[in-house]
Amino acid sequence: MASTSSPLTSSSLVRAPFSCITITRTPSRRNSTRHRKRGFSPSSKKATTVRPQCGPASALEYRKLGYSDLVLSEITLGTMTFGEQNTEEEAHEMLAYAFEQGVNAIDTAEAYPIPVRKETQGRTDLYTGSWLKSQPRDKVILATKVCGYSERSSYLRENANVLRVDAANIKESVEKSLKRLNTDYIDLLQIHWPDRYVALFGEYSYDPSTWRPSVPVVEQLRAFQELIDEGRKHTNLVQVRYLGVSNETSYGVMEFVHTAKVEGLPKIVSIQNNYSLLISCKFEIDLVEVCHPNNCNIGLLAYSPLAGGSLSGKYLDVQSEAARKGRLNLFPGYMERYNKSLAKEATSKYMELAKKHGLTSLQLALGFVRDRPFMTSSIIGATSVAQLKEDIDAFLTTERPLPSEEATIKYVELAKKRGLTPVQLALGFARDRPFMMSSIIGATSVEQLKEDIDAFWTTRRPLPSEVMTDIESVFNRYRDPAFS
């Protein structure tokens, strides 16, 4: 077994892999113009960001997961290729490299590797566990997943025809996972997909005719509570620290949150869903609101931020060696939604956009996901250290966020600090320039025009000197950021 120093209470802090860290409060990015256009509203909630102050040089940020005390690196290492496309030695090399770069979280699952096969099931955990054995356990945030409803993977249990998310299945899953992973506890246990029917893995819309009876959420949560109580009773050790869901909907999340509140049961702290430039609307339509820190406070762990590798552009040339060796072609039927013509067309457009702005396709795709205001961590997997290095480098070398957006954020913060609206600050600045004759203002409605003109009339003339000093400091840092 790995050396353990399991946290017994929710008040303890899982440390990032640094000898010391500083937690700073940074203003939310939800006020940016781009976010407002996509339907995000300003929030008074502050995002907690943890930045290394000593130890290995790293530009990765660390973010608190929901209401838990888990502080994750903004990259979580995905492991689903371990045992299928990667040997144990290769898996260890990637794990070592990721943690050297400041990654502190691993995501695995009892069903891995992918594709799910009886012959290989469990290898991912075994490879991860053999590496974990030699690591200081309290420096690693370990997330795994218990399978949802499945008629095809019953071999995962000793005596079952169908996998369900009930007490017996959950207990057996956790016991086997702990053994394979060489550990005494799991930091985050996630339900891989729901016990009830939902539109999954490329199925876009819900089919009402496919509804089936499912294990009640209260029963699922009680099973997790029993696991926690059982661990404390026998070993004074919490075997499962926190709970999360995956491939969930707003309905499902609210069911878990409401049931936990009413019944006094463990609350979920995370949701692991598909999120990328090719798949974002399903989360942004309503899960953003549900998971908001001021609402249910649930952290998003985004899987497939590169859309199964599609956003690297390697599948656009179907004859290329990279395309032939890619998993979308190695495993026919796997993530076939990314091989559709519309997805390829979108990928091509994004590659053109990246080139226009001097970015690689990886930088654009991963930078987009990284900078979403609701993102906790992006789950990134690879089949080689070289590929993993390229992905992590894309995180570290892409400006965060894009300069023009960052400047907007700073000006919005400045306006709020000085008791002004962003419109008052912007128009007041232009109005008071000593060389200004007239500002040309356009609008798409009388209401919008009224707001603009009111900003002229209601803003102190000239703007106070302290406001101009603040504006100058932002301007000097982001001089003409929108210029191209």
Phi, psi of 269 (to 5 degrees): -115, -10
| Distance from C-alpha of 398 to C-alpha of 208, rounded to nearest angstrom | 43
| Distance from C-alpha of 150 to C-alpha of 65, rounded to nearest angstrom | 28
Out of 352-361, 400-409, 448-457, 464-473, pick the least confident.
400-409
State yes or no: pLDDT of 392 exceeds 80. yes
337: number of Cβ within 10 Å: 18
> Higher confidence at residue 106 or residue 401?
106
> Higher confidence at residue 9 or residue 182?
182
Q: What's the pLDDT at 469?
A: 84
Q: What's the pLDDT at 91?
A: 98
Q: What's the pLDDT at 255?
A: 98
**C-alpha closest to that of 392 among 375, 376, 377, 380:** 380
| Distance from C-alpha of 90 to C-alpha of 98, rounded to nearest angstrom | 12
SS (H, E, C) 349-394: HHHHHHHHCCCCHHHHHHHHHHCCCCEEEEEECCCCHHHHHHHHHH
> Higher confidence at residue 470 or residue 346?
346
**C-alpha closest to that of 428 among 386, 392, 470, 389:** 470
Q: Of the ranges 18-32, 135-149, 322-336, which is most confident?
A: 135-149
Q: Which residues are catalytic?
A: 112
The residues, any chain, with a CB within 8 Å of residue 395's CB and separated by 6 or more, are 59, 60, 74, 75, 366, 367, 370, 378
Coarse DSSP helix, strand, coil percentages of the chain, rounded to the nearest 5 percent: 40, 15, 45
The residues, any chain, with a CB within 8 Å of residue 468's CB and separated by 6 or more, are 429, 432, 462
End-to-end CA distance of the chain: 57
92-129 per-residue burial string, b: 16 or more CB within 10 A, e: under 16: bbbbebbbebbbbbbbbbbbbbbebeeeebbbbbbbbb
- The answer to whether the beta carbons of residues 259 and 284 sit under 8 Å apart is no
Segment 256-303, tens digit of pLDDT: 999 999 999 999 999 999 999 888 778 998 999 999 999 999 999 999
**C-alpha closest to that of 305 among 358, 245, 393, 370:** 370
Q: What's the pLDDT at 377?
A: 98
Tokens representing 313? Answer: 């552009």
Average pLDDT, the chain: 82
Segment 116-127, tens digit of pLDDT: 899 999 999 999
Percent of the chain whose predicted confidence (pLDDT) is above 90: 49
DSSP H or E run through 82:
none
Q: What's the pLDDT at 480?
A: 60
The residues, any chain, with a CB within 8 Å of residue 109's CB and separated by 6 or more, are 80, 124, 144, 145, 147, 192
Segment 355-367, tens digit of pLDDT: 888 889 999 999 9
Query: Taking the C-alpha atoms of 35, 40, 41 and 44 in order, what is their torsion angle to the nearest 10 degrees?
Result: -80
| Distance from C-alpha of 116 to C-alpha of 111, rounded to nearest angstrom | 6
Secondary structure of residue 51 in the 3-state scheme: strand
Strands, DSSP E only, in 164-220? 186-191
CATH number of 21-401: 3.20.20.100
Q: Where along the chain do the CATH 3.20.20.100 domains lie?
A: 21-401
| Distance from C-alpha of 149 to C-alpha of 242, rounded to nearest angstrom | 21
Confidence (pTM)? 0.74
